[in-house]
Each structure stands twice: as C-alpha cells, then as structure tokens.
Chains A and B, each alone.
Chain A
Amino acid sequence: MTIMGTPRLRKEDPKLLTGEGKFVDDIHAPGELWMGMVRSPYAHAKIVSVDTAEAAAHSGVHAVYSGKDLEEMGLWIAPLPCVWPVTDDMLNPPHVPVVTEEANFVGEIVAVVLADSRYGAVDAAELVEVSYEELPAVASLDAAVTGDALAHSDLDTNKAYHWPLVPDPDALDAAFANAAHTVTGTFVQQRLIPAAMEPRGVLAVPSPHGGDITLYSSSQVPHILKVMVAATTGIPENKIRIVAPAVGGGFGAKLNINPDEILAVTLANRLGLPVRWTETRSEAAFSTHQGRGQNQTIEIAADAKGKILGVRVHLDADMGAYMRLITPGVPLLGSFLYTGVYDVPAFGFTCDGYFTNLTPTDAYRGAGRPEASYAIERAMDLLANEVGVGPDEIRRRNYLNGGEAFQDLEVASTLVFDSGHYGPNLDKALELSDYASLRAEQQRRREAGESKQLGIGLCTYVEICGLAPSRALAGLNYGAGGWEHALVRFLPTGKVEVVTGSTPHGQGHETSWSMIVADKLGVDPDDVEVLHSDTAISPLGLDTYGSRSLSVGGVAISMACDKVVEKARLIAAHQLEANPDDLEFSGGVFRVKGTPTAELPIQGIAYEAFTAHNLPDGMEPNLQEQMTFDPPNFAFPFGTHVAVVEVDEDTGGVTLVGYTAVDDCGPQVNPLIVEGQVHGGIVQGVAQALWEEAVYDEAGNCKNPSFLDYLVPSSMEVPSMVLDSTETPSTSNPLGVKGVGEAGTIGSAAAVINAVCDALSPYGVTDIEMPATPQKIWRKIQDAKGGEA
C-alpha cells in the first residue's frame, strides 16, 4: 500500500485543462435537430390554447409540438419518475415532459420546436403563441403552508406528505418536561441554484438500421437514466444506450430524469433523426432542479450543565411544483443527522412536504445533510449561550461516547454509526486555528471598539454517506438498491482495464481507481484504464451521488482486484508447482515463501491466462473478475470546521478571513483529491451562508436566474484554508474508507453563520438568515442600536 495515501496529480486534468474534454455539447451527429423550448412565463396558469402555425412556418423549422400534440403522438407511457414515495399516501401529481392543461411553475415546458439550428429553434420558440389564463400562484414555502392558493388546481391541499421519525414519543416529552434549559432555533434553508460549470445538455441519436437509440446526456446517473428512459417511454431497455461523456460537475442537479432527456429520446426515435438541446445558463435556473428550500424548527432540551436530554425537529420542505426523482426523500436524508455528533437520549423528527409553484427541488450537494448539520450546529451555539459556556465546551459535554473512539454505535435516530472519534478531531481543529489567540484578538477588538469585529464559528458535523445498504434503502421506500459493480480485467500485455458503475463528473475517479488497482495488483497506475459512464461498456451500475463512489464503487474495485489476485495465485501455484498457500504476493510478483528464485509476475500470469496453454485443470481462461458490493452499513464521516469572519460594522460587510477544517473520512486514497473535494465543498457551503439564494417575487418569477445576480463565489472571495485530517476507519467496508465529496458543504454553512452571529453577539444578535448579506447584517446592528444610523 504505497500508492494509496500519497498525493497524486489527476490523470484527467491535462485533457480538461487543454480544452480536449468532450462534453455533450461538443458531440455532433449528422442531420441533428435542435430543440427550442417554449416555457411558461407564469408560475401557475391554465393553458387555453397553443398556436404553433407561425413558428412552424419559420425558416429552418422542422416541427413544432404542443403538449397535446405530443400526448396524441403517444411518445411516453408514464410521467417522469419519482422513485422515492416516502409515504404510502404521498401526493404525486403527474409530471409530463410537456404540460397539456396547467403550467405549474415558471419555465415549465409548454411546447417544443425542432429546428435545424440552435438559433433558429430559439427564434421559432418565440413565435409560438400561447394563451394562458393566470391562476393564483403559491410563490413561496410560507404561502404553501399558510396561504389559500393551491399549487395544483386538481389537488385540495398543498401538503404532499407527512413523515415522522419519533422512536419514543413518551421519552421525548419527558426529556423536555425535565429540562433545565431549552432552546429553539428556527432556520430557513433558502433555495439554491446548483450552477454546475457545464450546463445540462442532451443529444439523442437513433441508429439508422437497428432501432437502437443512444442518448448522450450531461448526467451523473447514466445507469439509472437508462432504466427510467425505458420505464417512461416504453422503448425496450435493451435498445437504449446512455453515454455520459465528460460531465462538468453535477452536485446532484444532474441526477434527475429530465423532460428534455425524454423529449430528445422519443422525438429522435419517432423521427429517425438526432435531436439535441443544451440549456443556457439562465434556462438552467428553471429547467434543472434546485436545492434546499426548507423551514426548520429545532428544539434542544438539556440539563443544568448543558447535557442534552432530547432533540425535537420539524421541517416544512418545499418540493416545488412536482416530485422529481428523489425530491420527497431529500429532507429525510438529513432526518437521521439532527442529533449530530451528540449523545441524544430522546429524538423526534417530523417533516411535511409542500408543493409550491416554483421550480422543483431535489438533491443538491449534501441533500438533506447540510440542512441537518446547519440546524443542530446552530442550535448547539444557542445552547452554549443559554448555558453560558463556550461553543467548544458545549460540544465536548455532549459528544457520543464522551468524545472517545467508538465503533458500531446505535444512536437515537435508530442508525448505527460505523465509527467515530470526535474529541481529538476538535482538539486538532482548535489547535490549528489557534483558537485561543483568535478569542484574544476578538476580545481586544471589542474592547478597543474597532469597527471591524471578529467572529469565530465552530461546526462539528457528522454526515451519512456511502449510499447504501440496499436493505436499508428498502426500509426508506427508496426505489433502487445501493450496490456498486466493478470488473477488473488484465489484458494480455499486462495492462489493466477497470469497468466501474460509478460515473465521475469531476471527482477524479480515473485517478483514484487506478491508484487502488495499482496498489492491489502491483502495477503502475498509468497501466490502468478506467472505463465508465457508457452503458454499452459498463452495463451495471448505480452511479455517483451521495458521496458513495469510493466507499461502495471503489471498494467493489478493490474486492474485484482481490479476486483477480486469488485466480492469479492458482495459476502461479500451478506453474511454479507450489501450494497456493505457500505463495506470497507483493509488488505485483508471486513468490514461493523461502524460495526467492521461484517467482512469477502477475502481468506475466495475465498472458498465461490469455493463451490458456498451461492453466490448472478446469480453470476458465483470462484473468478477469467482477464484484458487486452492497455495503452492510452507511459510512459516517465527521469533522470540525472553524470559520473566522470579519464584520465591518459600518457597512455590514462580512469577509471570511480564515478557515480551518479537520475532516475525518478514514484512510485517504488520494489526499490531493480529498483536499480538492474539501475545498470546493467548503466554498459551496460558504456560498449558501453568504451569497447564494434563488429569489422569487410574489408571482413566482425567479429574480436572479443569471450569474449577474446569482452570486456564486470565486477564489477572490475565499481565504487560503488550513486543511488537515484525522483518520478513523469505517467498519462498513474492507478499505475502511468514507466519502468526502459533500463533507465540506455539510460543515461550512453552520461554521460561517455561527461566526457571523459570534461577531454580532455584543449586539444581542443570536441569528441571521442565510445568506447573511451586508444589508441584513447592517440592519441587525441598526435594530440593536435602536434604529440610529
């Protein structure tokens, strides 16, 4: 194990950095037609009529279809799928690719143009005349909960479901009845636009003779997409091939089954012509799902010393207009984490999902867990204030197992945490951030009355990843399993091909998987080719989301390598005329113990397996093994983040001046990739804390769908970070690894807002809504001063 654990540059990067990456938009097929979408300008409106005549007559236009036209053509046999019906009585209004009767959010597709150019398609789409009858819109989650308007005219409520997780209601009531301290936090998780670097795009290419169809899609879930395209369109699954070429980020926003994907496949299939579409950046704000959208209430009951007795949580969750692939389940992914890293004797969680006339929500980096972590970590600071101890001390007093190491520990939310060791992790973060000096500097500035005040915020998070044990998912009513497939094959010349069902879209799987294989098989990482993201090449897989790739897919590869070594061992033993148990394998070479000259390199054995001239009796030729790994449990990474902000009291401006993160994802395969994931993840959480929010007006129009007003931070807005780690192996897989793709996002928003509130604490400020804009902060200060500017 010399390669794993050593930082290694990504083999993907030269191609990507020199513009050689082939994304969907770079791929073209002769005769392709562009789709142009006619989108509803109303959040809620009856469609009275659609006149396509003028658009159809526009030059270069091949066809124009209204929703009713497409319905009559019978292009699909089922609405777009939601695979996570969280309760038996959950409401799930049908979501068809092009709406026929009633548009339910701004941007919903009302008609489709097919034209011979992208510009022509957009020009013609403007010529489609749609007559609408506007209906009252549910333009916010609050309106869905308390208002009179209905998001769907044919439903008699906006509430889609009620989901409880209250293992012991009596114990929970008793905890609050007996509490010396109770604190309540009410937090808003604003809607976020995922904004991957590459917008989504599709290209569906029918094969001229066979009736097969290939869909190139900017997707992070080609395997799931294949199943769902078949189930939605009725096209036999064996006739569908999905290719996710280079994909420029996803963050969950590319794990859906989208109207454009179904339209491209079915129209291409019907017309026998390639059909394509690439969303524009502003279109993405409507056509791709959004993240977050929750109102949270969290209550903590504690004894006189601040030891937690119980935690009670209620969420109202904004589904948007429809249930997308896993929309209803996203808030529940966090349900098990509202107890955080703490020993919570009694726990209760309820969630009500509501429809609004806004773009549907679904998974976005962390999917339910950043929200949970935010709520408990903000509330812990409220508890610290209430009890009168520091934020570090309140955490120490409540750590699971007293902050000492543990394995396979059942917590109040009924899950079993695989492993944890929280105390030393906090110690390391406090030391690296020089926490004591920061507090001294904060005090100095306060006493000096300086206009730039310091705020220090802690977050000690835990998250749940490595989705997942298939049986556990069944218990949650999730529509799929959680295994991952791997195939490892030696080629005759000693090179290795790995086929994986995990589908990278920026994570560097080709590098990491090569490192695992190189260590396991004793070959050079550059001799390993990782094949992925094409269902014709990698037919089995459950794709990449929920920080599952390494702890499920990477482990499957490792286990397949073990099988390869065992088969090679039998061949080596046969040819060396030794007992297989007497062979040792290291550095890619089998040696007979005690006989140093008797050795065979595994790459030579690969050739022997290929020629099959001299194999043990009955052994199949070739050196290739596969593994489908279904983990026995989730993995629970954790960490401590320390954010330092400077708040300019004259302007309300907040600057992130320092950030320390000590994450524990178990053993690291490639620390360089871990560092990159943590960096990006942290910034994405800081973005929620300080900059990003999809803002809607009262009519349900998104007011900031472009990067002019939707403030995605750049490197200019974040300081150099201090990153380090502790290493607590998971018990959920043989490599002991845990995911790290979402950890940064899960830890950072709470750390930053805790820091902002800490800076403002002399004004009695205990909370500020995200994003903490300069104006909000300035108004908080003004309010505290009694309105004097």
Chain B
Amino acid sequence: MIPAALKYVEVDSAAAAVAALSEYGDDAKLMAGGHSLIPLMRFRLAAPAVIVDISRMGGLSDIRDAGEHISVGALARHHVVENSELLQAQAPLLAHVASKVGDPSVRHRGTLGGSMAHGDPASDLPAAVLALGGSVVLQGPDGERVVAADDFFTGFLETATAETEIITEIRIPKSSAGWSFQKFNRRAQDWAIVGVAAVLGDDPRVSLINMGPSPMRASAVEAALAGGASMAEAASLATDGTAAPTDLNGDADYRGHLARVFVERALVEAAG
C-alpha cells in the first residue's frame, strides 16, 4: 500500500495537461479524483513515472444546458452530478447513478471524466452514459474531437482516448424517456456484481455493468425490443455478446443469470 516513487506535475488548464502528456508520453498518467488510479498505485499494480494532477484545473467541472444536450465538465465530481438540478430534470438516470457510486467520500472525490477515462467495466457511470447515448469530448495537440460513448470503450481499461488527449467534457442528450438503474452487490459501497442501465423511448438503450471486458450495451436486448419482443423475451437475450468474468463474487454463469434477471427488472421499472 506504499506507491513507488514518482514525479508529480500539477497543471492548471487542459492545454497544459495536453502539453505535459506530450512531454512525458506513456510514462505519464492524468489524475483527477484519483479514486481508481491511487489504489492501483498503492498496490503497485500501476507505477506511472509521472502524475499529472488535473484536479485543480479551472472551468472543467461545470454542468450546463447546451441546448440539445447537457454538458458535464470532465472534473464534475459524482456528488455534483448527483445533486445537479439540471441533470435531475434533463437526464435523471445520470444523477441517480452518480448517487449509487461507492460511498460519500468516493463521491466527493471521483469525477465523471475520470470514471470514463478509466473505462472500468465494473463502473456504474460509463453504463449510464452509454444508456443515455452520451458522447465524450477529447482535447489533444491538434484540437478537439467528439467520440460517441458507443465507440469510446475499446477494451479492458482501454478507451479511444489517445496518449496525448484529455477528456474535457461529457455530453448527455436530454431525455424524458422512462429509465431504470439496477445494481446488484453484496455491500452497498461495492462495485456491482452485475448492473443494468436502461433508457426506453423510441430507441431503447440498455447497458450492462461487469458483463464483459468493457462497459457495454446489451445489443440483442435492444434489437429485440425494437422488434417488438416482450420484456421477458428481450431480457432472456441479456447475455448475448457478453463475456462475464468469474471472480470471488460470482461465476460467469451466475452473472449471466443475474443479467437476465436485472435486465427484465430494469425494463419493467423503466416502462412503469
């Protein structure tokens, strides 16, 4: 629980962060809330030579109405997302999911951008952004680009973020559709053994937590719903295309069962 030696760099703007990333290359890691990175460093599972601390950068934690979507600054902490009246009104799933992450101390440090950047398949918030059809704004040496959440998570703890890019913003389309978030765990503050986020409406979107190497959508469920299947029929397809892990909390087949149960519960609740 003692991290290895490292160089600490604090930056005050996204441009400075990008400059630091360009300078140090893959020796460097950005740190926002640090709630994923620091435990890895303390276990010496990660030993970045340089930490670029972006937590005190100004202007990147605002949540504002951008017309079609809500713009959430990458440094918005979970408790800010949880308590944002704008999100509660326009994308209530995201605010709700933020309230279910970890415990209060985690929610006062962790950031939405950090959660997206880490891309942990067991994390709650990436699933919410996926279900809401959100997108991620990346800033790099050559300017800004926007990547849909659908294309953002590329593998286990891997995202579309390039080595020299920083997430500046997460865009969440406004949504008044029925939604549900289901999280099954053994203790309140734990990661989900399996979780489900669902947003119904014209284009139903369902995402799964901890059912594969990365945050993922339950495409077969969505297609079945779009094709007019019943909720039970759709839910029975919850494990199509998944690759659930086996760990101390559950084997892959048990997770598959849970996915079917909670997808159905999510669909029922979202439709209710």
Q: Which A residues fall within an 8 A CB radius of B? A: 118-119, 122-123, 280-283, 650-651, 653, 690-691, 695, 703-704, 706, 708-709, 711, 713-714, 716-717, 773-775, 778-779, 789
Please name the residue on chain B nearest to A284 by beta carbon. Answer: B1
Please name the residue on chain A nearest to B193 by beta carbon. Answer: A774
| Residues of chain B with a CB closer than 8 A to A691's CB | 186-187
In whole angstroms, how far apart are the Cα atoms of A650 and B254 in the complex?
Answer: 11
Partner of B257, one of A704, A709, A773, A789: A789
5 contacts between A and B (CB under 8 A): A122-B2, A691-B187, A711-B187, A717-B187, A773-B249
B5–A119 touching, CB < 8 Å: yes
| Residues of chain B with a CB closer than 8 A to A280's CB | 1-2
In whole angstroms, how far apart are the Cα atoms of A118 and B2 in the complex?
Answer: 8
Assess A281 versus B1: contact at CB under 8 Å? Given A650-B261, A703-B248, A714-B187.
yes
| Residues of chain A with a CB closer than 8 A to B4's CB | 123
Assess A774 versus B186: contact at CB under 8 Å? Given A651-B258, A651-B261, A695-B248.
yes
A714–B188 touching, CB < 8 Å: yes
| Residues of chain B with a CB closer than 8 A to A711's CB | 186-187, 190
Q: Which B residues fall within an 8 A CB radius of A? A: 1-2, 4-5, 39, 43, 103, 184, 186-190, 193, 247-251, 254, 257-258, 261
Assess A775 versus B1: contact at CB under 8 Å? Given A708-B39, A716-B187, A717-B188.
no
Please name the residue on chain B nearest to A122 by beta carbon. Answer: B2
In whole angstroms, how far apart are the Cα atoms of A9 and B254 in the complex?
Answer: 47
CB distance from B122 to the nearest CB of A (A): 11
In whole angstroms, how far apart are the Cα atoms of A711 and B248 in the complex?
Answer: 11
| Residues of chain B with a CB closer than 8 A to A282's CB | 1, 43
In whole angstroms, how far apart are the Cα atoms of A650 and B247 in the complex?
Answer: 20
In whole angstroms, how far apart are the Cα atoms of A722 and B54 in the complex?
Answer: 48
CB distance from A195 to the nearest CB of B (A): 14
| Residues of chain B with a CB closer than 8 A to A118's CB | 2
In whole angstroms, how far apart are the Cα atoms of A651 and B195 in the complex?
Answer: 13
In whole angstroms, how far apart are the Cα atoms of A773 and B184 in the complex?
Answer: 12
Partner of B248, one of A283, A704, A779, A789: A704
CB distance from A225 to the nearest CB of B (A): 25
Assess A774 versus B188: contact at CB under 8 Å? Given A119-B5, A651-B258.
no
| Residues of chain B with a CB closer than 8 A to A713's CB | 187
Please name the residue on chain B nearest to A782 by beta carbon. Answer: B257
| Residues of chain B with a CB closer than 8 A to A695's CB | 248
Partner of B254, one of A706, A717, A778: A778
Interface of B is mostly: loop
| Residues of chain B with a CB closer than 8 A to A714's CB | 103, 187-189
In whole angstroms, how far apart are the Cα atoms of A123 and B3 in the complex?
Answer: 9
In whole angstroms, how far apart are the Cα atoms of A67 and B139 in the complex?
Answer: 54
In whole angstroms, how far apart are the Cα atoms of A366 and B1 in the complex?
Answer: 30
| Residues of chain A with a CB closer than 8 A to B188's CB | 714, 716-717
| Residues of chain B with a CB closer than 8 A to A708's CB | 39
In whole angstroms, how far apart are the Cα atoms of A281 and B42 in the complex?
Answer: 11
Assess A119 versus B189: contact at CB under 8 Å? Given A709-B248, A778-B257.
no
In whole angstroms, how far apart are the Cα atoms of A522 and B258 in the complex?
Answer: 63
Partner of A706, one of B43, B186, B193, B261: B43
B249–A775 touching, CB < 8 Å: yes
B184–A653 touching, CB < 8 Å: yes
In whole angstroms, how far apart are the Cα atoms of A778 and B260 in the complex?
Answer: 14
In whole angstroms, how far apart are the Cα atoms of A778 and B249 in the complex?
Answer: 12
CB distance from A392 to the nearest CB of B (A): 30
CB distance from A25 to the nearest CB of B (A): 13
CB distance from A777 to the nearest CB of B (A): 11
CB distance from B15 to the nearest CB of A (A): 32
CB distance from A133 to the nearest CB of B (A): 25
| Residues of chain B with a CB closer than 8 A to A651's CB | 184, 258, 261
B186–A283 touching, CB < 8 Å: no
| Residues of chain A with a CB closer than 8 A to B254's CB | 775, 778-779
CB distance from A568 to the nearest CB of B (A): 53
Known: A119-B5, A123-B5, A283-B1. 4 other contacts (CB 8 A): A651-B261, A706-B43, A774-B186, A775-B254
| Residues of chain B with a CB closer than 8 A to A123's CB | 2, 4-5
| Residues of chain B with a CB closer than 8 A to A717's CB | 187-188
| Residues of chain B with a CB closer than 8 A to A703's CB | 248
In whole angstroms, how far apart are the Cα atoms of A199 and B249 in the complex?
Answer: 25
| Residues of chain B with a CB closer than 8 A to A119's CB | 2, 5
CB distance from A116 to the nearest CB of B (A): 15
Please name the residue on chain B nearest to A119 by beta carbon. Answer: B2
| Residues of chain A with a CB closer than 8 A to B190's CB | 711
Please name the residue on chain A nearest to B262 by beta carbon. Answer: A651
| Residues of chain A with a CB closer than 8 A to B249's CB | 773, 775
| Residues of chain A with a CB closer than 8 A to B187's CB | 691, 711, 713-714, 716-717
CB distance from A300 to the nearest CB of B (A): 33
Please name the residue on chain A nearest to B254 by beta carbon. Answer: A775
CB distance from A689 to the nearest CB of B (A): 12
In whole angstroms, how far apart are the Cα atoms of A773 and B190 in the complex?
Answer: 14
In whole angstroms, how far apart are the Cα atoms of A282 and B42 in the complex?
Answer: 10
In whole angstroms, how far apart are the Cα atoms of A773 and B254 in the complex?
Answer: 12
Please name the residue on chain B nearest to A118 by beta carbon. Answer: B2
| Residues of chain B with a CB closer than 8 A to A779's CB | 254
In whole angstroms, how far apart are the Cα atoms of A282 and B44 in the complex?
Answer: 12
> Which among A773, A775, A789 has the highest number of chain B CB atoms within 10 Å?
A775
A775–B5 touching, CB < 8 Å: no
| Residues of chain B with a CB closer than 8 A to A704's CB | 248
| Residues of chain A with a CB closer than 8 A to B247's CB | 709
In whole angstroms, how far apart are the Cα atoms of A789 and B256 in the complex?
Answer: 11
Please name the residue on chain B nearest to A653 by beta carbon. Answer: B184
CB distance from A374 to the nearest CB of B (A): 21
In whole angstroms, how far apart are the Cα atoms of A706 and B247 in the complex?
Answer: 15
Assess A775 versus B251: contact at CB under 8 Å? Given A714-B189, A789-B257.
yes
In whole angstroms, how far apart are the Cα atoms of A73 and B231 in the complex?
Answer: 74
In whole angstroms, how far apart are the Cα atoms of A123 and B1 in the complex?
Answer: 12
| Residues of chain B with a CB closer than 8 A to A650's CB | 261
CB distance from B259 to the nearest CB of A (A): 11
In whole angstroms, how far apart are the Cα atoms of A280 and B3 in the complex?
Answer: 12
In whole angstroms, how far apart are the Cα atoms of A283 and B258 in the complex?
Answer: 34
In whole angstroms, how far apart are the Cα atoms of A708 and B1 in the complex?
Answer: 13
| Residues of chain A with a CB closer than 8 A to B103's CB | 714
In whole angstroms, how far apart are the Cα atoms of A138 and B248 in the complex?
Answer: 21
| Residues of chain A with a CB closer than 8 A to B250's CB | 774-775
Please name the residue on chain A nearest to B1 by beta carbon. Answer: A280
In whole angstroms, how far apart are the Cα atoms of A175 and B39 in the complex?
Answer: 58
In whole angstroms, how far apart are the Cα atoms of A118 and B43 in the complex?
Answer: 15
In whole angstroms, how far apart are the Cα atoms of A651 and B187 in the complex?
Answer: 15
| Residues of chain A with a CB closer than 8 A to B261's CB | 650-651
In whole angstroms, how far apart are the Cα atoms of A653 and B261 in the complex?
Answer: 12
| Residues of chain A with a CB closer than 8 A to B257's CB | 778, 789
| Residues of chain A with a CB closer than 8 A to B43's CB | 282, 706
| Residues of chain B with a CB closer than 8 A to A709's CB | 247-248
In whole angstroms, how far apart are the Cα atoms of A618 and B83 in the complex?
Answer: 77
